[in-house]
Chain A
């Protein structure tokens, strides 16, 4: 048995330890905000945080995680008001929205290690996240906007 700590809550996991975290989250524990896109770590739709680091949950076996803290899109904020979530809404970033959980998780991780990323740093950090609808331009703007918001919050 493996205990998974997800969004601050412990869950007992009794299934195949080889199961990628993605399917454990979605099928077993019903956190469906984390999406399947490729199953090979190529598209980033399944991005979650493990101890604050962005990882591709579709290629991460549950057995490799135990005890570390997992954060999914559902656990990013109490009321959907994380600065990145705010910025995403302000700029109407999503089109179909499917990849956006992964995009947001990657963006949050970026801003946590680099409060004011430039365009190039954003492109580097977000290069693993595909958006087929093509919202990249707004993602970039929203990350800059979130960085500004975070500074304002700190300053006020």
Chain B
């Protein structure tokens, strides 16, 4: 069923100068309908399956289950690298199998930059236990001590006697052995890695990407499937008043019109409500939707207007509700300061715009749901579909397709529930597709934020006071109607401010939500780090110090910070401080590294400037330097971006670099162009004309270096994003003397 194609045999790769050690495979996935259900749960006698991640067949093919969603971060390559390395597998005899949504894999919620961080160890153990059982099986057969055997390229080898047995030939014997205790597992030493840490492993899906042979959520086709689009409320919570079903049905190709249940807040992952048009094809469904002429009832959220909301956020910063970190007395230190610096920062509401909007296909039959979706979180999808449709979770099969980008949007399964409801009601396979307008106007939004910072500088030119007030609508409002204070968002760049200052106060103000607030790549780190890293640069200016020297000085002596000593309850991305300390020495190291890369301090031509920023997020450390130029029209261009990253042990350096390159563009987009505004509760932008993102001519050259480290692996999908915006604005200041504190910069006519 799965054909392994050794792409490297092709002449063209040789011609391109790829070394013979480059391992390139393309796994021919079966068609959607034949994807095996719960692969690792069904074990035939011809398979050796010591755990949920690995299966080895008598055909010597090693199947590796990727239980996390692929959305561009390269996890369908990185997970097999980890497992295959410990197993001693031959990369060219691997089949990569996408795991169904199933608790047995542990968390499959692919967000929070957690896939490698949380599963590096379990996946190594999965590979090692399979390898040790195969070793034991071979040792038994040869009557030798198991310590004399090794695993290499899908074989167990006894070097002394020159004997070797393929994994496939050991399947039956290994299947009869006991799975070793976790404590007895012998893991490889770093020096013996074949794949982990290597940059020459080609993408598992590389060939399929360039031939159009991949399957995303939008691409799923089922026999007899019908196509649906949905008219959703333009204002959150607005209920349907009336619509013209007959006009929609009069459109050729339209099959049915179905009103969905109105949304009762909190929104959670429930469908937004509205009216679905189901048709023979997408075009007919879209035309039918236009014909609906829906009228909506009023909603409490139509009071939402971005202009007045911004003013309310600013006022809320002046009257904070809750102090989340405090040390010493900021009031006293400010009173005694020689200089008091204040600044306010604003980042607008943002949205993910993955190139593939949400899409899901559901087939309800015989009391069972078979669902295919571009989801970051198949278990939440399973649970939410079960809860809303009343079908038991074990009868909800969630197949994960490739994701055409995710960025956090696809970890909310509302769109999957829509498909499930429609298929169950109409008894046919239904694919629900979101248009770009739907995605932008009915999203889970990145919160708009206003921030006010105050600092005091004493007679010795030391920063002695730091006060940071934030108002932004909380993610909690999506799960608890009326919630108006941020919670764990404060851990993302607000209360973990690492600079060594004697008096600190971080506080939050109220901000009621009027749209569904969600999380987007690096979440509130975007807002908080824009403010903190811009403000620190303003303090350098006030102190008359070089920006980089000031960063190093403000970090103080090398130390591991425990924010609980400053009355802060810091979550550390769900990790312990003992395993993942907040280490200022590592912060300084990435700053020094990036400064060397960018040759910080060099003389620049007029109109050019360098800017620097550093932040630790998702337990990884990233420092960034940006070089900007200005042309005769006063327009700014980002010429180069340098990023030094310390993410602990680097599993897949090639994809770490690509994530950093992508983070630079993501950060550039929101710095220069992206902004959502609401008028009477309706998002005013609807497509890439109004909601702009970076295009190829905007793209800088991004240079990435990865710090060599044996620390446990940290996150990589998100940590590159937060330092980009402040580094750009700091560079613009150094180039032009102008300080920009509100995003996006397009409002100033400089981009």
Find residues 115-143 in chain A having any chain B CB closer than 8 Å to their own CB.
Answer: 122-124, 126-127, 129-140
Known interface pairs A27-B282, A42-B689; A129-B696 also in contact (CB < 8 Å): yes
What residues of chain B lie closer than 8 Å to A33, measured between beta carbons?
211-213
Q: Which of B210, B216, B227, B282 contacts A89 (CB 8 A)?
A: B210
Query: Which of A39, A42, A132 contacts B354, CB < 8 Å?
Result: A132
A15 proximal to B (CB < 8 A): yes
Asked if A74 and B403 make an inter-chain contact with CB atoms under 8 angstroms apart, the answer reads: no
| Interface size of B in residues (CB-CB distance below 8 Å) | 73
Q: CB within 8 Å of B: which of A64-98?
A: 72-74, 76-77, 80-81, 85-86, 88-90, 92, 94-98
CB–CB A127/B695 < 8 A: yes
- The answer to whether B284 has its CB under 8 Å from any CB of chain A is yes
Taking a contact as CB atoms under 8 Å apart, the answer to whether B212 and A72 are in contact is yes
Q: A100-B209, A127-B697 are in contact. Are A40 and B666 (CB under 8 A)?
A: no
Task: Give A75 to B261 CA distance when docked, in angstroms.
Answer: 44
Q: Give Cα A100–Cα B203 distance, bound, in whole angstroms.
A: 14
How far, in angstroms, from A118 to B283 measured CA to CA in the complex? 39
**Pair B215/A16 contact, Cβ less than 8 Å:** no
How far, in Å, is B227 (CB) from chain A's closest CB? Answer: 6
B405 touching A98 by the CB < 8 A rule?
yes
Chain A interface, >50% SS class: loop
Q: Does B694 count as interface, using CB distance less than 8 angstroms? A: yes
CB pair B202–A89 under 8 Å, yes or no, is yes
Does A56 sit within 8 A of B, measured CB to CB?
no
Q: Mark B306-350, 1 if CB is under 8 A from A, else 0.
A: 000000000000000000000000000000000000000000000
User: With A43-B355, A89-B202, A89-B206 given, is the CB distance from A16 to B436 under 8 Å?
Assistant: no
Residues of A within 8 A of B688 (CB): 38, 40, 42-43, 130
Which residue from chain A places its CB closest to the CB of B203 in the assembled complex?
A92
The count of A-to-B residue pairs whose CB atoms sit within 8 angstroms is: 199
Set of chain A residues within 8 Å of B406, measured between Cβ atoms: 96
Contact with A along B636-678 (1 / 0, CB 8 A): 0000000000000000001000110111111000000000000
Nearest B-chain residue to A34, judged by Cβ: B212
Q: Which B22-68 residues have C-beta < 8 A from chain A?
A: none
A52 within 8 A of B: no
Contacts of B211 in A (CB 8 A): 33, 73-74, 76-77, 80, 85
Chain A contacts with B in 14-39, Cβ cutoff 8 A: 15-16, 18-20, 23, 26-28, 30-39
Partner among B16, B71, B354, B666 whose Cβ is within 8 Å of the Cβ of A86:
B16
A45 within 8 A of B: yes
Q: A16-B283, A81-B10, A136-B696 are in contact. Are A35 and B218 (CB under 8 A)?
A: yes
Q: Is B107 an interface residue (CB 8 A)?
A: no
Binding site for B on A (CB under 8 A): 15-16, 18-20, 23, 26-28, 30-40, 42-43, 45, 72-74, 76-77, 80-81, 85-86, 88-90, 92, 94-101, 104, 122-124, 126-127, 129-140, 149, 152
Other CB < 8 Å A-B pairs besides A36-B282, A134-B662, 16 of them?
A33-B211, A35-B216, A39-B436, A42-B687, A42-B688, A74-B212, A86-B16, A89-B202, A89-B203, A89-B206, A94-B206, A95-B659, A132-B666, A134-B663, A135-B658, A140-B699
A-B pairs with lowest CB-CB distance, top 9: A33-B212, A134-B665, A98-B404, A95-B72, A96-B72, A73-B212, A136-B699, A134-B662, A97-B209
